[in-house]
Amino acid sequence: MSLPDFAAGCAIERTGPDSFTWRVPEGWLQGRGAWGGLVVAAHVNAAEAEQNRSDPSRRIRNISAHLFGPLPSGEATIRTTCLRAGSAMTTWQVAITGSDGQLASQAVVIAGTGRPVSAQDRWGTAQMPSLPEWDGLPSAPVRPPVGPEFGAHFDYRPVSGFPGAQSAPHALGWLSPAGTWDGWTAGTALGIVDAWWPASYISMAEVRPMGTVSFSAHLLVDPATVSPDEPLAYEAWVSATDDGFTSETRRLWSPDGRLVVENHQAIVVIK
């Protein structure tokens, strides 16, 4: 079976003024359903398609998604609603129903125009971590039988934070799509942050099934300005855990030091 690239795997087709079909591909499983990052990307693609039709000057800035249950492969239905179109920002609601007829996920996606700012107005406290050059690191085989099915679509170059290490839950490495790749989009940039293993695995003596229940991510650069020929630096850590529910922060950096995506997830131990 040939593996479609990331962009092809989350591609959608318009079927009406506020609806799309998504043929959820095989080969992207995480547990019983499609990998969550692919689902996030499909949500963003639907909102972006609607936004480009109404006002393409407004770029995707943020997604907040809730993943209710597994999304099976096959034909899924995506429906969109414009919750509000203001003077400079539009808020979209996107819902995905699987081929089994069950609502699998729902998201709110925000698009907005850029505000004119001077160089000194571009500020922040986050700093890209120091990492070895990616091309000097070995690629980790994150695929069955040692990893999830969807992992075959990505190139992982971990630096620290390996599952089962029983150390602090903090991960560093490089991440990029494997195979055919045309360039970054809002959907693929926001979705790929979910590709790494949960940082909780680093503290565990053995890997246990976990799943994301809440996903919020900010796209902080124009994805077209990020080179598709280089991977993104990845950093993640767990802030706290209680009763099997964890709060995890993930960041993606461009090689030139820009924070591309910041992501917060609530991840639960399934069993």
Residue 19 falls inside a structural domain? yes
128-147 pLDDT, tens digit per residue, is 999 999 999 999 999 888 88
Q: Tell me the pTM.
A: 0.94
Answer yes or no: is pLDDT of 1 > 50: no
Q: What angle do CA 68, 74, 76 make, to 5 degrees?
A: 50
Residue bearing tokens 């075959």: 152
CB of 251 closer than 8 Å to CB of 126: yes
46-72 per-position pLDDT tens digit: 999 999 999 999 999 999 999 988 999
Residue range of the domain that includes 250: 6-113+134-269
Could you tell me the CATH number of the domain that includes residue 207? Answer: 2.40.160.210
For residue 89, being part of any structural domain is answered with yes
Residue-wise pLDDT tens digits, 186-245: 999 999 999 999 999 999 888 888 888 899 999 999 999 999 989 999 999 999 989 889
Q: Is 120 a domain residue?
A: no
Q: Which residues contact 3 (CB under 8 A, 6 or more apart)?
A: 27, 152, 153, 179
Closest Cα partner for 111 from 50, 163, 68?
50
Number of domains composing the chain = 1
